[in-house]
A and B are shown apart, each in its own frame.
Chain A
């Protein structure tokens, strides 16, 4: 991003903090971009002729006589079909050695969609992962995060979701991604031969943290271009939003704002909602679906970040390492997709909702049996069967390396139900039993 001609240069900084600086200037607009000693910055406060700027890459080495040049516009992204297949940094500049993208320049973080112009989300997104498709089906226009501990393989799962879905475009917004993980995504996408469907905006841990604040807006501006102008189904992957929130708290702290819960800014809910609410189904067929990662600490979902996220998103998915089978599974008890009822049994086979309910319930019985066992109480025959069922269920269905179609998932589950339980225990309505319960 370079400046254009005839710009006034200011050189009198009156205040410098770790993330912001203040300069005497006039004629500056709120949210406007600027450079301070060549570093990109954005206006966050104007008080008379004092303009406070948030410098994305930090203020290390900035002097009180640094040159400040204002752009006269907020951050923008040039959008066109040429975005496809490219890697960009948080400012939208290419980092893959390719040429700059030509296209229409649009402001990022634009206005919200009029609610009455939205369509009800109703199209299924198949991922091949049974823990999602069978138990927590995703729908276009949905927004859903993985709540994962940092040691869990959430990036692998996200990449798997990206590879298996039939989205027209996949946009990756990486915030505080380690360089290793960035290379993992890059290699995975390249090896899968689908690189031209993918657009990436990447801020790695090598980059300054405050830059991350631009990533979601960049990714979603690109998503809106494809969803609105090309009527495409766009899947946006954002990882890791906890690191985004950390950057928010750094900036608000430097601006002397009073922190609310867990040192997060009081506006955290609105800040996150602005991102997630970009998920939308348009009447013309285009859609933006957001799958995000929020890393949590020790499974604590009462922390301000997962808590606010949970109130905004349409469900949440949890990963769990199942020690019985030694694999990572999508936890059926805690995960929830709020929009699943819009497609289950409507866009999928009729028995889907009931099979899902029955297997989740019986799996919960196994959890209870396990607690009983651990507390030294005697197990009944039913408990033993439930435990055996749970093991097979985890291995054949929940494990994230299982990759089958929804009908097949249902057939596998029917098989397991029949293997371990009686018709009464399964308690699915008669007409479905007639049809799917194989006569011995």
Chain B
């Protein structure tokens, strides 16, 4: 085993003189008066390894001994991860002693003594490769698959497999024989280096299905595909975190992995406190039962923040390999990029734009490419859908992190300061935002087959109404209310109707906060029907009050359970209003 001694310290960058071979990204432990500080090799020059320490280096002295582990930073994978709250290095935060996070304290991500009810899926004599299912155990409500470890290259034959029954996490549940006759024991636990993608699947097709989030401005206007990527840049105060929380509560996914990366601790506390109380709208179970939180808040060590998004992605890929639909949310990827910048700066690398490392776009696109819809070795589909929040400096969407993300993510949900200021939530700008998936033929086909035969053309029609409304609004602002043709006012208010009824959504109302696709379709068609009519007005002053009454009636509908009597009452009322001025 290689060892070394500390020769230089600049905050969390530590230079180590080594006496043997070291690998890039190898993990080592630095001994600070008996406390072991975890660190990762990020550069090697001659016999000096540059390491980033995942802890505070206060009090560290040159000459301190260092031990290298010959392993990269790994996630420990197995049953028992659901509902857990981890830090960026996958330490179970609940297992840590005391009020404060003490450095050098690392805890087990799984429960070593837990027992699981194992049911074999494969049988003796089967030929298997990495990622194949050997058996399953129930974890909450998920049939958690026990797989041939992803790190096992080559082909294996099952020599023996455990019978149905209760086993400890670390018990051997199968013995595999490799092609040279060597035997390998497999338990329910496996390890995987977080910075490498798990590729234990047969193929990764283009995403073709839509992933419902319950948020209308996303689902209706710019849908994200299952296995797709999206990002939400926005200045502070525009509701990035509220939007992410709302998606995490309502999205149609088997499993939510929430990476709170360099953000406020109180927001994460809100998740811990609320999720165990809130019901999953689809299964009726508590939300926490389908959630894993990776929490590396802004005051936790910056190198661990960088690791946290990789840890989250690795856990997502692991569950995807069980044939599950996983949604990964990261808030915020800018903090991750800033962590990269801090290290690059300490290593005195030549900087790229805004002092970010030159390879930032490559790092971001490599990360985003780990998501996707896949067919596993046995043909079962699984997916990781990723939505990342981006916090652009000064709200400027031309900054490096936003630009780099825009090159790789396929959905762009721009949160706008103007919409937030006028309390139009969610503040996703309908004109700036886009979903590339809407252009995919397979997605269009899926939408038209599953929502309504005219869905895609309806959505484009809605987008046109919004654009025309904006143009009309701009003209009115320049020329004054009576300086434009009357029809401009109608255009403006038709887009306003669409905006207020379809796009704006009350995230705190129990009905309105999440809208199923069927209802979204019904409401969009209703709004479009009205927008297609021509209305008769004498003067521009009549337009706003008239549309306001329509908006009020439809708002009430949004707050009521779908197709109830009261819902229909308001719809009848709406139709009466429409008939008052509809051009016959």
Contact among B56, B264, B338 with A266 in the assembled complex (CB-CB below 8 Å): B338
A258 touches B237 (CB 8 A): no
Chain A residue nearest to B7 (CB atoms) is A48
Partner of B60, one of A29, A120, A279, A315: A29
Would you call B354 an interface residue if the criterion is a C-beta within 8 Å of the partner chain's C-beta atoms? yes
- 0/1 interface trace, chain B 220-244, chain A, CB 8 Å (1 if under): 0000000000000001110000000
Interface residue A260 (Cβ < 8 Å from any Cβ of B): yes
A303 beta carbon closer than 8 Å to chain B: yes
Task: Give which listed residue, B85, B237, B265, B393, contacts A336 with CB less than 8 A.
Answer: B237
Contacts of A277 in B (CB 8 A): 264-265, 297-299
A311 near B391: Cβ-Cβ < 8 Å: yes
B94 at the interface (CB under 8 A from A): yes
Q: Taking the nearest CB of chain A, how far is it from the CB of B166, in angstroms?
A: 29
Residue A373 lies at the interface, judged by CB distance under 8 Å to chain B: no
Q: Is A46 located at the chain interface by the 8 A CB criterion? A: yes
Partner of A274, one of B101, B266, B299, B481: B299
Q: Which of B235, B345, B393 contacts A257 (CB 8 A)?
A: B345
Q: How far is the CA of A44 from the CA of B11 in the complex (A)?
A: 7
CB of A285, distance to nearest CB on chain B (Å): 13
Residue of B nearest to A269 (CB): B338
- Chain B residues with CB under 8 A of A176: none
Q: Which of B94, B302, B508 contacts A270 (CB 8 A)?
A: B302
* Contacts of B479-536 to chain A: CB distance below 8 A: 480-481, 508
Chain B stretch 240-277: residues in CB contact (< 8 A) with chain A = 262, 264-266, 268-270, 272-273
A26 partner residues in chain B, CB cutoff 8 A:
62-63
In the docked arrangement, what's the CA distance between A311 and B241, Å? Answer: 11
Bound complex: CA A6 to CA B101 (Å): 33
Closest to B274 in A: A120
- B335: chain A residues at CB < 8 Å are 269
Q: What are the residues of chain A within 8 A of B59 when measuring CB–CB? A: 29-32, 73-74
Instruction: Tell yes or no: A49 within 8 A of B by CB.
Output: yes
Instruction: Judge whether B9 and A120 touch: CB under 8 Å.
Output: no
- Residues in A with CB closer than 8 Å to B299 are 112, 273-274, 277-278
Do A266 and B96 touch across chains, with their CB atoms under 8 A apart?
Answer: no
Complex interface: chain A residues within 8 A of B215 (CB): none
> Quick check: is A47 within 8 A (CB to CB) of the other chain?
yes
Taking each of B15, B102, B264, which has the highest tally of chain A beta carbons within 10 Å of its own beta carbon? B264
Report whether B298 and A269 are in contact in the complex, using a CB–CB cutoff of 8 Å. yes
A310 at interface, CB cutoff 8 A: yes
Would A115 and B268 count as touching, CB distance under 8 A?
Answer: yes
Cβ of A320 to closest chain B Cβ, rounded Å: 15
A163 at the A/B interface (Cβ < 8 Å)? Answer: no
- The answer to whether B396 and A111 have CB atoms under 8 Å apart is no
B583 within 8 A of A: no
- Alpha-carbon gap, A116 to B235, bound state (A): 28
Across the interface, do B7 and A47 meet the contact criterion of CB distance under 8 Å? Answer: yes
A residues contacting the other copy or chain, number (CB 8 A):
67
C-alpha gap A111/B395 in the complex (Å) = 31
Is B358 located at the chain interface by the 8 A CB criterion? no
- How near does chain B come to A121, taking the closest CB pair, in angstroms? 6
Q: For the complex, what is the distance from the CA of A62 to the CA of B473, rounded to whole Å? A: 66
- Give chain B nearest CB distance to A358 CB in angstroms: 12
> How many residues does chain B have at the interface if contact means C-beta atoms less than 8 Å apart?
62
Bound form: Cα–Cα A302–B61 in Å: 40
Q: How far is the CA of A21 from the CA of B56 in the complex (A)?
A: 23
Majority-rule SS of A interface residues: loop
A228 at the interface (CB under 8 A from B): yes
Partner of A258, one of B93, B272, B355, B393: B355
Q: Is there a chain A Cβ closer than 8 Å to B34's Cβ?
A: no
Q: How far is the CB of B28 from chain A (nearest CB, A)?
A: 17
Q: Answer whether A30 and B269 are a contact pair too, CB < 8 Å, given A111-B100, A228-B99, A260-B355.
A: no
Complexed CA–CA distance, A31 and B264 (Å): 26
Q: Could you say which of A28, A118, A364 contacts B269, with CB atoms under 8 Å apart?
A: A118
Q: With A120-B266, A121-B266, A277-B265 given, is the CB distance from A260 to B354 under 8 Å?
A: yes
* Nearest chain A CB to B302 CB, angstrom units: 5
Q: Chain A residues with Cβ under 8 A from B237's Cβ?
A: 310, 315-316, 336
Let me know if A48 and B101 touch, CB within 8 A.
Answer: no
A423 contacts partner chain B, Cβ-Cβ < 8 Å: no
> Taking the complex as formed, is A110 at the interface, i.e. its CB lies under 8 A from any CB of chain B?
yes
Quick check: B8 and A48 within 8 Å, CB to CB?
Answer: yes
Number of A-B contacts (CB under 8 A): 171
User: Considering the complex, which residues of chain B in the window 23-73 have a beta carbon less than 8 Å from any beta carbon of chain A?
Assistant: 56-63
Residues of A within 8 A of B60 (CB): 29-30
Contact of A28 (CB < 8 Å), options: B61, B94, B391, B423? B61
Query: By the criterion CB–CB under 8 Å, are A115 and B302 in contact?
Result: no
The smallest C-beta distance from B546 to any residue of chain A, in angstroms, reads: 15
B300 touches A112 (CB 8 A): yes
Fill in one digit per residue for A351-373: 1 if any B CB lies within 8 Å of its CB, else 0. Answer: 00000000001001000000000
A111 near B298 (CB under 8 angstroms)? no
Distance in Å from the Cβ of A106 to the closest Cβ of chain B? 12
Instruction: Find chain A residues with CB under 8 A from B295 CB.
Output: 115
On whether A113 and B8 interact (CB within 8 A), knowing A28-B61, A120-B266, A267-B342, the answer reads: no
| A44 neighbours in B (Cβ, 8 Å) | 10-11
A24 an interface residue at 8 Å Cβ cutoff? no
CB-CB nearest in chain B for A341: B508
Question: How near does chain A come to B239, taking the closest CB pair, in angstroms?
Answer: 10
Closest to B508 in A: A341
Please determine whether A112 and B297 come into contact, CB atoms closer than 8 angstroms.
yes
User: Contact between A110 and B100 (Cβ–Cβ < 8 Å)?
Assistant: yes
A residues in contact with B342, CB < 8 Å: 266-267, 270
Give the distance in Å from the alpha carbon of A334 to the alpha carbon of B264 in the complex. Answer: 21
Q: B103 to A111, Cβ gap below 8 A?
A: yes
* Cβ contacts under 8 Å, B298 to chain A: 269-270, 273-274, 277, 312
> Is A261 in contact with B393, judged by CB distance below 8 angstroms?
yes
Cβ–Cβ contact B100 & A266, under 8 A: no
Return the 5 tightest CB-CB contacts between A and B, nearest first: A302-B394, A273-B298, A277-B299, A310-B236, A260-B355
> What are 30 A-B pairs at a CB distance below 8 A?
A26-B62, A28-B61, A46-B9, A46-B10, A46-B62, A73-B59, A111-B56, A111-B103, A112-B265, A113-B101, A114-B98, A114-B99, A115-B268, A115-B295, A116-B93, A116-B94, A116-B272, A117-B99, A269-B298, A269-B338, A270-B262, A273-B298, A274-B298, A277-B265, A277-B298, A277-B299, A282-B99, A302-B393, A312-B264, A333-B421
- Which residues of A are in contact with B by a Cβ distance under 8 Å? 26-32, 44-49, 73-74, 107, 110-121, 141-142, 228, 257-261, 265-267, 269-270, 273-274, 277-280, 282, 302-304, 307-308, 310-312, 314-316, 333-334, 336, 339, 341, 361, 364, 377
- Known contacts A115-B295, A116-B85, A377-B480; 15 additional CB pairs below 8 A are A28-B61, A30-B11, A30-B61, A31-B59, A45-B10, A73-B59, A74-B58, A74-B59, A110-B100, A114-B101, A118-B266, A269-B338, A307-B236, A311-B236, A336-B237
Q: Which residues of B contact A (CB under 8 A)?
A: 7-11, 15, 56-63, 85, 93-94, 96, 98-103, 235-237, 262, 264-266, 268-270, 272-273, 295, 297-300, 302, 335, 338, 341-342, 345, 351, 354-356, 391, 393-396, 421-423, 480-481, 508
